[in-house]
Structure formats: structure tokens, C-alpha cells
Amino acid sequence: MHKRQISRREFLRLSALTAAGAVLAGCKQSATTTEPAKETVAAPPTEEAQPTAVPAVKYSEAPMLAGMGLPPVEERLPEKPLVVQPVESLGEYGGTWHRAFLGVADFHALGRLIYEAVLRWPRDPKDPIQPGLAESWEWSEDGKALTLYFRKGLKWSDGAPFTVDDVIFWWEDIENDTNITASRHIEWVVNGEPMQLEKIDDVTIKLKFAGPNGLAETTGLAFHGCQWPLGFERFGFFAPKHYLTKFHPKYTTGATYEQFEEKAFNFNTELPVMYAWKVSQWEAGATEMVAERNPYYWKVDPAGKQLPYIDRIHYALVESGDALNLKAIAGELDMQHRRISFSQYTVYQENAEAGNYHLLIWPTAQASTITLFPNQSYPDPKYRELLQNLKFRQALSLAIDRNMINEVSFLGQAIPRNTTVVRDSPLFQPDIEQYYAEYDTAKAQALLEEIGLKKGSDGFYQFSDGTTIELVIEGTDAVSGANMDALELVTQNWNDIGLKTVLETMSRDIYWPRANSNEVMIATWETDRGLVPMVDPIYQFPFDERSWMAPAFGTWYKSGGEKGEEPIPIFKEVQELYNQYKVTVDAAKQIEIGKQIVRKATENLFCIGTVGQPPSLVVVKNNFHNVMEKHTSDWIIFTPGTMDPPQFWIEQ
Amino acid sequence: MLAYIGRRILGMIPTLFIVSVITFIIIQLPPGDFFTTRAIEAAMSGGGQDKETVKTMQERYGLDKPLYVQYWRWVSGFPRGDFGYSLEWNSPVLPIVLQRMGYTLQVGGLSLLFMVAVAIPIGIYSATHQYSFGDHALSLIGFLGLSLPGFLLALLWMFLGIIVLRIPVGGEISKGMADQPWNLAKILDYLNHLWPPAVILGLASTAQLQRIMRGNLLDVMGQQFITTARAKGLKEKKVVNKYGVRAAINPLISVMAMEIPKIISESTIVGIVMSVPTTGPLLLRALLTQDMYLAGTFLLFMTLLLMIANLLADIALAWADPRIVYT
């Protein structure tokens, strides 16, 4: 609370500054315009000068682009550029955005700033899907065909036109080439049939499916609909055909797939891109990376200024998260959310004034930060039966002291709750957030007695054959230290009500395959994907082997019944709901089904949550503008991607 | 002498071979490989890769092959200067390693210079002013330096720089300087970032060398040829500097050679703490991500560096001490 006041005051001060800036704007702007003016005078070609005479000039460009021999901005922009509403104010051009990252493996440091998909996740998660590269889209009556209308005149960062051929290239030569993509993304396979593409003209394409496709808009086009391969995520919907065919073995003899991957990777400085900043300086082992503005970027602000406002992003390579945080505390980062550590909150506050920055707190879209997955497909039949009993799981949930976990591990800043989607999600239903989330050991024990469990002489509950129930929680300390403290507390809580529980921790390289292959009795992890869970619903029901509430049932669902084990009815019911979800094209109906799935998952305690929506910290320099103050952060929506980083601006 | 150097260099080859085998095996010991590790990494940051994708990648880069095949793929490229492909950096290994070795050599070399320049004068002073206040004070500082691990010093320096002094510390160069062309200001800034890790790396060894220098010199000063020199009426300054130090410094060269491995291993953790581009941080990262060719090549080059340093120390010893002759 204290912090928020400061930031608001800071904010008022800043808006006052901006107001004062408006008065000064005259001289400031004349100062900025003199330079390009000079350049235009210096450059003999008259192209620049003429449009100024013609009244048609409505778009303007960044001063740094003048004199680079580029075609005029009107020709670089598409016919109808996307107009981005600034979060607060119209910006000025210029500046370098300083950030820090941990190297190639930290791909998201760049990946989340270059969210440019065919359709877009909305800025407010409750809004519908927004236009992106495609300005409009249209479903056929039966939901089996989707026509995409791309903006006319879109161009790659090297000036080459962007057409639907770039989409077809991706589909035929990347997504359908098993040397590159092991198996097609599920949203493009309906009823076992891969989609068919029909090119209508250069900017219009029809996607045809074997049945109605309810995942196309969200998972397909808003989430995966980026430029392939988006770093290691290896998804996309288009790729620069004119450039990449030179390295594709199908088109060029002697080319190799290794080389193809290398050239397609976003850190290749020659790669044509569709996003706002293109990596312009990077080599393996280097200690810095620079991304510069794409002069052909296809978005403008309401005043007609071509975005992005900021000229370049500079990434300093640091060797550890601690070093990154030190940099941020010293005020060397202009705006960063990624890897800023909440546990250093007080240090950040103490140094805010000296570092000339302020802090924002964005809750994370984690349904629960430490989630327990009682494995309902556990091989041992005795434990399987026990874990499949809802009353048993309810007792487990009631026995957890969530307030204690919140205090010990999260400075009281998270929300004690059970596993259900986060509050900002369109699927959120307030009445189930606290489902069996109170701390009530008496009720928990009553439930255990009710299902016929009796305590032995050692005070621990036993199976009916007289053997003691021994629960094993397995976890990995690689996630975070705070989580280990919380897991110790849960173990203690369960032992306290008479359930013998041990906690085993191991390296993640051992843990992860164990959990995926159905060997763990009670697995633990953080359950993110709490904002738009249906994109990858592994925490809602057994969806694949990563659904640790029943990996064997998940494998069954994913393989269409070929592998794994047939799920018990309750899971089949939810899987059936998701099957419906997948074939529902209407967004409102989809939300209804989604809500049912979420309700079933929560009310059956498929996973047991502890505390959720933990805070995450954002460091913003006081001269860095248009960052949203309130936002639920999630990688699925590319935080801060949905708030359009190209409209961030730095006051010079 | 030349024959001796030639033999020593030839002798390095089997050592390097053994080291390459051992490092390769050790790197492969942890469960999983680069791609399974990365799949988990992706899952932890919210993404996800399925088993098939991981398998395709393993096949493409030959990670599904038996260990000896992978090993052969690596070593068979050495004669061509091909040290394998770094999966994490999407690049051949050699340029990455050379670049980082360069910086490590700069830091390491500077810290050796620092050691010599500080330890020897202090050692001489302590020996000639035995049990004086200055001797005690310098010994105290020396012991402090000896007992404080380098990474702690690095952390203290980072804290001091950032929170107290508010100067840019850590990294290779200041924010804002990176984009500029090389000029005097940038070179100064670069050096300004170079000396702290060098000093921190050298401090522990400096303390040790200073103690050894003191002890050696005290030993030598008690010997008969010194008494003779004094009896002949030589100035005390000349007795100490020309005869005493000359004899006392020989063992120091061997000790310094022994300090080099320490500097190399210390540079790993100091490099990580201070975020300077030495080999250390990349090596650690390569080990964590199981980027085996990169990690292996780093270890190989570090071994090579060590052996060359030892050879140089032996040659220096022969040059400094006429009693030693190599045949």
C-alpha cells in the first residue's frame, strides 16, 4: 500500500512534468525536427520534400530513420496500419531501453517484447481477441473454415512484401516437415485431419478444417500465431519465405536443417522480421545484444507517428539473477519485469530515489504457486484408490495452513486460495476460489474417519489391512527456495493430522521425467496458465503426461486411447467438456464451457493449491512512460506483450 | 633447453587426451542431456515441449548416439580446429571459447602483475623490518586477504560500489559506453572494470606470496654470504636488493606457478558474482545446461593454459636461477 502511494505521487509529479513538457514542446520539437530537416536538405533526392507539399502527409517517422535512404514512411506502412492506443500519453521518439538478460537460454527477455501475432490477446483479459497482422477474420457458418484478411502492404523489416505465401511456407515446409516439427500443433489438426490452406489472394487466406475449430483464434492465432520459431518455443504461423528458402533443404541443395534453424532463430541479425525491434548486434558469447527499430513496422500511434517510439533496446548479458537485480537496484535498467526478484522488495524501495526508478507490482497468473498433485493414476492400487477419493483430497486441502505459508514464503503478499483460475481471467468464478481452502484440522480428521480410516497405535492413519498410510511428496528445489519452505510446512501439516508424510527433493533432471512417467505419488509444481488456461489445460484435467494429477490418464487422452490408461469417469467427463470446447467457435459459448471445466477441476480438487497470484515486481525508471500499473502477468499473454511495448517511450 | 621445451610440449598431448576423455565422461554423468534440460527449463518458465520435439532435436544433433560416437565426433574435429557445436549458443564452440579465454587472460595476467608488484615489496619490507609496527600491520592485512574467499570480496565490492559509492561495478563496460566507438574514455572505462576482478583474484595469493617472500628473505639474510657481504662493507640496501632478494625470489617463482590454477578456479566464481566475461560463468552455464562440447572445450583449454603456465614457470626458474639446468 505504502509503495503504491509513492508511485502515484511519483506519477503526479511526472504527469506535471509532461504537462510542463507540453509547454516546452514547441522548442523541444523544433529541436528534434531540425536534425531530420538538415538531413533532408543534405540529401539531394526530392522524394522527402514533395510529400510535405502535398496535404497527404499524415504519418511521421523517427528522426533516426531520416537519411538512411529508405522509401518514405507512407510507402513503408501498410494501407491501414494498426493504430495503437497509448496506455497514458502520446510519446516522443528516441532513446535506448536498457535491459539485462541471461543469454540465449533467457530467450523470453526478447521474446515477450516482440509479440506480433496474426490476432492479438486483448490488453484487458476480459475483452475478446483483437486484430493483429490480420485486420479482420471471418468464420464460415459451420465453423469449419476461417478466412483471414491480412493488412494490405505489410512489409518485412528488409522491405520485402509480407504475403500469405509466408503463411503457406510455414505450414508446408516447417509445420509439416517432420525434420523440423516433430508433430503438428494440436489446434491445426481437427478430427485427426490437418488443416487445408487455400490462398485467395496475396493478403487473404482460407483455413479449412475437418470440423469446427474452437482453438484456431486463441491458441492458434493469438498465442502461436507469431513469427516461427519464437526462440525455443518452436511455434509460429508464418516465416520469411523469401529469406529462409535459401537455407531450406527442400529448396536449396546442400542446405542443412541445422543451418535452417540457425538462420530462422530470432537472434540471427540478418533475419527479416515483422516485429518492432530487430536484433542488430549479437554473436555467440558476446556480452551485449542490441535490437534496433524495424523501419517497416506496421503500427502507428493516434497522431500518426510510426511506432516504436524507442530507437533501440540494449541487453546487457549478466551471469546470474543476482547480478541482474543488482543492476536494476543501481538504476541501470530502464524498465524490466523479467527476473526482478520480489524477495529484494525492500532493497528496491530503499534505493528507488537514488536509482531514479519506481516500482510496480503485477500479480502473477499462477492459480497457485505451490500446488500438490495427488496422483490419481498412481500404480499402487491401494494408494490409487485412496487418492481417487474426493473426501480424502478435501481432508488434505483442509489440513494446510495457507496463511502461514503466505507469511513465511511470500511476506503475506500472495492470496491464500485453492487451485482455480486467477481473478482477472474471464473464466474466474469467485464462489469457488476458497473451496476447501480454510484451515480446519478437526474437519479434515472428521472426513478421514468418514471414509473409514483409523489411526494405529503410533497415531498415524492406516489402511484397512493395518499398514500405515505413507504419503510421499516429491519436489525439486530448482523452482525456488520459498517453495521448499512451503512444502515443508505442508508436510508438517499433514503429519499433524495423522497422515504420515515425507518430502523428497531431488534435482529437476531426475524429478521431471519421474513425474511425467507416472512414478510420483504426490508431485508439486507451480500452476501458472491461470489467465487463459484452455490454451494448454494441463492443470485443469489429465491432458497429457504433464498433468500430474493423473499422468497415465493424460497420456491416454493425448494419444487418443492408444497409450496410457483409460481414465475414471470424472476425468472423462471433463475431457469430454474440453472436446466440446475445442469444437465451439463462438467465443461466448466457449467461455461458458471453460467455466464448467474450471468449476469441475476446482470442486474435485484435481490439484490442491496453497497460495496463488504471488506478486511480481517491475522496475520502471521515472522517465519511462506508458507502462500499465495494473496487470496480471503471464507468459501465455507475453507479459508485457499485450500492453504493446512499441508504445513505451523514454523522456529525453 | 630447446629440446627440453620440445619434449615438454609433446608430453602435453597424452595429458590433454586423458583430460578430454575424463571431462567428457564427467559432463555426461548427470541424467538427461541438453534438450531434456532445456525442455524442463522451458516448462519452468511456462512453456512446454513435448517428447517428440525433444527426440527430433536429439536425433538431429546426434545426442541419441552412444557416448563413444559423440566423443569421436568431438575429438575428430580438433585437427581441423573444429571443437564442436554449442547447442545453447547456436554457434561453433571455438570463437566463444577464444573470446572468453582472451578476457580471462587479461584478468589473470593483470592479477599476476598485481601479485608480483604488491607481494614482493611488502615481503621485503616485512623481512627487513621484522617485528616492527609496519610488519605487524602488513601481516594482519595479509592474513585478512588470505582468509577471505574471493567471492566474498567480490560481493563486498559489488555492495560497496552499488549501494555506497554508487559507481557502476560489475560487467565489462558501463551502460551507455557500450554503443560508443573506442576512444580514450571508453578504454579508461574498460580498464576501470578490469582491475577490480584482477585485484580480487590476486588478493589471496598476494597475501600468501608476501608471507613466503618475507620468510625466504629472512632465511637468506641469516646466511653466511650475506654476513660476508656486510663484513665487506657493502651498503645494506645493496646487500638486501642485490644478494638477498636475488636468492630469496627463486622459490617464489615456483609458488607463483602453483597460484595459477587457483586464479583459474577462483575466476569462475568471481566472474559469476561480478558478471565479468571470463570463462567461468560460461563454463558453469554450459555445465548446467549440459552443453557438452562447449563445457568440454572450456575444460580442455583451461588444462592447456595450466600446462603452458607451468612450462613458462619452469623456464623462468631456469632463467632466474643459474643452478638449474634442463637437459
**Closest Cβ–Cβ partner in A316, A351, A354 for B171:** A316
Give the whole-angstrom CA distance, residue A169 versus residue A151: 18
How do residues B238-280 score in pLDDT, each as one tens digit? 888 888 888 888 888 888 888 888 888 888 888 888 888 888 8
Percentage of chain B beyond pLDDT 70 is 96
Give the whole-angstrom CA distance, residue A510 versus residue A651: 49
Q: Is residue B95 within 8 Å of residue B297, measured between CB atoms? A: no
Q: What is A2-113+275-364+614-650's CATH number, 3.40.190.10, 3.40.50.720, 3.40.50.280, 1.10.3720.10?
A: 3.40.190.10
pLDDT average, residue stretch B180-199: 84
Q: What are A573's three cell numbers? A: 467427463
- Is A265 near chain B, with CB under 8 Å? yes
Task: Provide DSSP, A593-605.
Answer: HHHHHHHHHHHTT
Helix (H) or strand (E) holding B91: strand B91-92
Q: What is the pTM of this model?
A: 0.84
Q: What does the pLDDT read at residue B182?
A: 78
Neighbours of A608 (CB within 10 A): 26
Neighbours of A374 (CB within 10 A): 26
Number of domains in chain B: 1
Residue of B nearest to A527 (CA): B46
**Closest Cβ–Cβ partner in A105, A288, A327 for B289:** A105
Q: How confident is the model at residue B176 (pLDDT cuts 50, 70, 90)?
A: low
Give the whole-angstrom CA distance, residue A605 versus residue A603: 5
How do residues B20-64 score in pLDDT, each as one tens digit? 999 888 888 887 888 888 887 777 665 666 677 888 888 888 888
Q: What are B45's three cell numbers? A: 518458465
User: What sections of A464-586 are H helices per DSSP?
Assistant: 481-496, 508-516, 551-558, 569-582
Contact B36 A512 (CB under 8 A): yes
Answer yes or no: is pLDDT of B317 > 90: no
Q: Is residue B43 part of a domain?
A: no
pLDDT average, residue stretch A163-178: 96
3-state secondary structure of B111: helix
- Is B271 near chain A, with CB under 8 Å? yes
Say which residues have a Cβ less than 8 Å from residue B291's Cβ, sequence separation at least 6. B34, B86, B87, B88, B89, B285
pLDDT average, residue stretch A196-214: 96
> Does the fold of domain A368-612 match that of domain A119-264?
no
Q: Which residues face A99 on adjacent strands?
A: A315
Chain B residues whose CB is inside 8 A of the A634 CB are: 46
How do residues A104-139 score in pLDDT, each as one tens digit? 888 899 999 999 999 999 999 999 999 999 999 999
Say which residues have a Cβ less than 8 Å from residue B114's Cβ, sequence separation at least 6. B198, B199, B202, B206
Kindly tell me the burial class for residue A147, based on how many C-beta atoms sit within 10 Å of its own C-beta (0-12, 13-18, 19 or more): middle
Answer yes or no: is pLDDT of A15 > 80: no
Q: What does the pLDDT read at residue A481?
A: 54
Torsion, Cα A175 A178 A180 A182, to 10 degrees, reads 90
The CATH code that applies to domain A368-612 is 3.10.105.10
Q: How confident is the model at residue A50 (pLDDT cuts 50, 70, 90)?
A: very low
Higher pLDDT, A478 or A251: A251
pLDDT average, residue stretch A62-83: 94
Q: Closest Cα to residue A444, out of A380, A396, A402?
A: A396
Task: Provide DSSP, A216-275.
Answer: IIIIIIIIS-SBTTTGGG---SB--HHHHGGG-TTTSTT--HHHHHHHHSTT-TT---SS
pLDDT average, residue stretch A333-346: 91
Give the whole-angstrom CA distance, residue A276 versus residue A73: 15
Query: A381-392 as b/e, with b when 16 or more CB fall inside 10 Å?
Result: eebbebbbbeeb
Answer yes or no: is pLDDT of A575 > 60: yes
Answer yes or no: is pLDDT of A34 > 80: no
Q: What does the pLDDT read at residue B178?
A: 65
Q: Closest Cα to residue A278, out of A417, A101, A159?
A: A159
Q: What does the pLDDT read at residue A174?
A: 96
Q: How confident is the model at residue A210 (pLDDT cuts 50, 70, 90)?
A: very high
3-state secondary structure A299-335: EECCCCEECCCCCEEEEEECCCHHHHHHHHHCCCCCE
Answer yes or no: is pLDDT of A53 > 50: no
Name the residue range of residue B242's domain. Answer: 101-282
Q: Closest Cα to residue A63, out of A48, A45, A77, A51?
A: A48
Higher pLDDT, A399 or B143: A399
3-state secondary structure of A416: strand
ipTM summary value: 0.82
Tell me whether strands A96-101 and A312-317 are parallel, antiparallel or unpaired: parallel
Answer yes or no: is pLDDT of B199 > 70: yes
How do residues A132-166 score in pLDDT, each as one tens digit? 999 999 999 999 999 999 999 999 999 999 999 99
Residue of B nearest to A365 (CA): B46
pLDDT average, residue stretch B203-207: 84
Neighbours of A600 (CB within 10 A): 17
**Closest Cβ–Cβ partner in A267, A284, A536 for B96:** A284
Chain B residues whose CB is inside 8 A of the A179 CB are: 56, 60
Q: Is residue A223 within 8 Å of residue A595, measured between CB atoms? A: no
Q: B244: domain CATH number?
A: 1.10.3720.10
Helix (H) or strand (E) holding A99: strand A96-101
Q: What does the pLDDT read at residue A540?
A: 96
Q: Is residue A539 within 8 Å of residue A548, measured between CB atoms? A: no
Query: B43-70 as b/e, with b when 16 or more CB fall inside 10 Å?
Result: bbbbbbbeeebbebbbebbebeeeeeeb
Q: Which residues face A293 on adjacent strands?
A: A277
Give the whole-angstrom CA distance, residue A19 versus residue A2: 26
Q: Closest Cα to residue A518, out of A544, A491, A493?
A: A544
Task: Provide DSSP, B153-212.
Answer: HHHHHHHIIIIII----SSSS-TTTTTSPP-HHHHHHHHHHHHHHHHHHHHHHHHHHHHH
Answer yes or no: is pLDDT of A530 > 80: yes
pLDDT average, residue stretch A536-562: 93
User: What sections of A454-528 are H helices per DSSP?
Assistant: 481-496, 508-516
Contact A283 B95 (CB under 8 A): yes
Neighbours of A126 (CB within 10 A): 10
Answer yes or no: is pLDDT of A20 > 70: no
Q: Closest Cα to residue B214, out of B298, B148, B165, B141?
A: B141
Q: What are B56's three cell numbers? A: 527430433
Give the whole-angstrom CA distance, residue B135 versus residue B128: 9
Q: What does the pLDDT read at residue A596?
A: 97
pLDDT average, residue stretch A288-313: 96
Length of chain A in terms of residues written: 652
Answer yes or no: is pLDDT of B318 > 50: yes
What angle, rounded to 10 degrees, do the helices at A569-582 and A587-603 form?
160
Higher pLDDT, B207 or A145: A145
Q: What does the pLDDT read at residue A7?
A: 41
Where do the structural domains in chain A lie, given as residue ranges?
2-113+275-364+614-650, 119-264, 368-612
Answer yes or no: is pLDDT of B148 > 90: no
Task: State the fold for domain A119-264.
Answer: Dipeptide-binding Protein; domain 1 (3.90.76)
Q: Is residue A268 within 8 Å of residue A262, measured between CB atoms? A: yes
Residue to test with chain B: of A178, A319, A543, most B Cβ within 10 A:
A319
- Is A105 near chain B, with CB under 8 Å? yes
| Residue A66 backbone zone (phi > 0: left; psi -120 to 50: alpha; other: beta) | beta
Chain A residues whose CB is inside 8 A of the B52 CB are: 182-183
How do residues A472-517 score in pLDDT, each as one tens digit? 999 887 655 567 889 999 999 999 999 999 999 888 778 888 999 9
Q: Closest Cα to residue B241, out of B131, B113, B124, B134?
A: B124
Q: Is residue B190 within 8 Å of residue B198, measured between CB atoms? A: no
Answer yes or no: is pLDDT of A1 > 50: no
Q: What does the pLDDT read at residue A16?
A: 43
Query: A152-191 as b/e, with b when 16 or more CB fall inside 10 Å?
Result: ebbbbbbeebbbbebbbbbbebbbeeebbbbeebbbbbbe
Residue of B nearest to A290 (CA): B179
Give the whole-angstrom CA distance, residue A241 versus residue A170: 8
How do residues A427-448 score in pLDDT, each as one tens digit? 999 999 999 999 999 999 999 9
User: What sections of A140-244 are H helices per DSSP?
Assistant: 165-170, 241-244
Percentage of chain A beyond pLDDT 90 is 76
- Is A346 near chain B, with CB under 8 Å? no
**CA A190 vs CA A117, A144, A214: distances in Å:** 22, 9, 10
Q: Closest Cα to residue A203, out of A273, A171, A170, A155?
A: A155
Q: Closest Cα to residue B251, out of B316, B326, B309, B307?
A: B316
Q: Is residue B57 part of a domain?
A: no
Residue of A nearest to B55 (CA): A182
Chain A residues whose CB is inside 8 A of the B281 CB are: 319-320
